[in-house]
Amino acid sequence: MPELPEVEVVRAGLEPAVTDALITGVTVLDGRALTRHGAGPADFEAALTGRVIRSAVRRGKFLWLPLTATEPTEAIIGHLGMSGQLLLRQAGSPQEPHERIRIELQHPLHGELSILFRDQRTFGSLALDTLVPTADAAPGGRGDALAAVPTQVSHIARDPLDPAFDDRWFRRALARRRSAVKRVLLDQTVASGIGNIYADEALWAARLHPGTPADTLPTRRVTRLLAEVRAVLEKALAEGGTSFDAQYVNVNGQAGYFAHSLNAYGRPGQPCPRCGRPIVRVEFMNRSSHYCPHCQRLS
């Protein structure tokens, strides 16, 4: 599933094309892509046509396009799921395999464009959602100064790259939890945007075993972990995200290359880049953890 870097790459690609763009038409080709929009395809098409997109915003793994001149404020929210893609195309381009929804735009600078929501496995979706004020009065996410988030995102914590992320609250949250530190990192109500890949990479960098109880970590180790989380996410962003197959692409269909920089995730049996001993893979929360048992000892 796409994590913060992959979704941010999509957001940054959409931003110049959608900001101040008029929605001239919407075509829902597969109603399964509207599982979170209860009113159905006809309502989605009618509700969006004629509206203007304000910006492209992201919090953690969640992406939304706020709409202007509405009360209450609304937004198109996108859940990419396992294989969802938001792609930019020229207006009138041919229908593509697994295309579920097409949104036609008229941009004041770039002219006519199309956004395609393509999803092979149909776990992703789009929806029209109401925006609500943020609890801390800070901007809802990266990409817009508006202090609001969609209702479907309101329970999600800020991500570690958000200027409004509260480091002290994060340290207190870990101190209150007996769960394995990796489980806490994956909890989107504690810190959003971190998934299996970047949790493994940050824990490797911080020399922490993924099963270490969070409440046993001294403050200095939590501070280092948070620093490594940020470093891993920033590096992945600089390299366009992690692409293991054709599902993880930017708005132009190009893959990221952070997979070549991975130290632990997806490398079972290969030598640890730090000590040379084999990386191991173990079952964890219906997925897997990759770590070095020599560098990341469970104390």
Please identify which of the residues 3, 6, 74, 201 carries the catalytic annotation: 3
Please identify which of the residues 32, 172, 287, 297 carries the catalytic annotation: 287
Secondary structure class of 234 (helix, strand, coil): helix
Q: Do 183 and 67 meet the contact criterion of CB atoms below 8 Å apart?
A: no
In DSSP terms, which residues pair with 133 in a beta bridge?
148
Question: Token pair of 240, please?
Answer: 């366009």
Q: Which amino acid, one-letter code, is at 197? A: I
The answer to whether the annotation marks 267 as part of a ligand binding site is no
Q: Do 178 and 214 meet the contact criterion of CB atoms below 8 Å apart?
A: yes
Please identify which of the residues 59, 61, 158, 182 carries the catalytic annotation: 61
CA distances from residue 6 to 15, 49, 148, 250 in whole angstroms, order as listed: 15, 28, 22, 8
Question: Token pair of 93, please?
Answer: 């381009």
H or E segment to which residue 205 belongs: helix 196-206
The answer to whether the annotation marks 100 as part of a ligand binding site is no
Secondary structure class of 93 (helix, strand, coil): coil
Q: Which amino acid, one-letter code, is at 155? A: H
Check if 3 is active-site.
yes
Burial of 249 (0-12, 13-18, 19+ CB in 10 A): buried
The answer to whether the annotation marks 207 as part of a ligand binding site is no
Secondary structure class of 43 (helix, strand, coil): helix
117 vs 16: CA distance, rounded Å: 18
Check if 61 is active-site.
yes
Picking from 94, 100, 47, 93, the residue whose alpha carbon sits closest to that of residue 78 is 100
What residues are designated binding site?
98, 121, 177
Q: Which residues are catalytic?
A: 2-3, 61, 287
Annotated binding site for DNA: 98, 121, 177
